[in-house]
Amino acid sequence: MTQRGFTLIELLISVTILTIIITIALPSLNAVLKRREADNVVNTLQMVVQAGRIYALNSHHSLTICGSSDGKRCNASWSNRVLLMEDANRNGIIDGPDRVLQSETLNIQPSQLVWRGFGGNTIIIGSFGTTYASNGTFTYCRKDKDPFYSRQVVINRGGRARKSQDRNKDGIDEDSSGNPISCL
């Protein structure tokens, strides 16, 4: 009867090769995960703004887009959740006839998402699909401020959202002025 199995040497060689492969592949996998999170955040934001614009045009109601930590009120906590809601009295709280139309969980801590716009901490989309002085920019930055994973979503006065791009093909997205996105 013949016994089959691995010798200690064969096992050690296999473990060594596997360790080398993992050591080489792990940084690439980490980069893919970082890029995926950044792209997911900007795609989600662009989708919420587009959905809000379409809903406002079809329903003839103005809408609010805001950051929320609890899904019930606006508190500029963009890194947790993004709400698209009917907010008739514009108090940033779901009350009376108000309702949440869309709620997208981001959970990107310790990364950050910052909104800088003319309308304060919220984006108001009017019944004609345009913003009420809410044009501005979302900036996504990782905690380590690595510029390769910084992204922006720019919202114009017409209520349209566009994502930042890497125009010079150096791997880093640029802002609307053509400079690398700044994470302060």
Segment 152-164, tens digit of pLDDT: 999 999 999 999 9
Q: How far is CA 103 from CA 2, 18, 48, in A?
A: 63, 42, 9
Mean pLDDT score across all residues of the chain: 91
Residue pLDDT, tens place only, 73-84:
999 899 899 999
Does the pLDDT at position 119 exceed 80?
no
Q: Is pLDDT of 87 > 70? A: yes
Say what the pLDDT of residue 82 is.
95
- The yes-or-no verdict on residue 13 having pLDDT over 90 is yes
The residues spanned by each domain of the chain are: 10-163
Task: Read off the pLDDT of each residue in 102-110 and give the average, rounded to a whole number.
Answer: 88
pLDDT > 70 in the chain, percent: 99
Contact 62, 101 (CB under 8 A): no
CATH class given for the domain over 10-163: alpha beta
Strands (E) in the chain, as ranges, are 63-68, 81-86, 99-105, 112-117, 122-125, 136-141, 151-155, 161-163
* CA–CA distance, 164 with 171 (Å, rounded to integer): 12
**What is the per-residue pLDDT for 41?**
95
Q: Specify which residues 73 forms β-bridges with.
A: 93
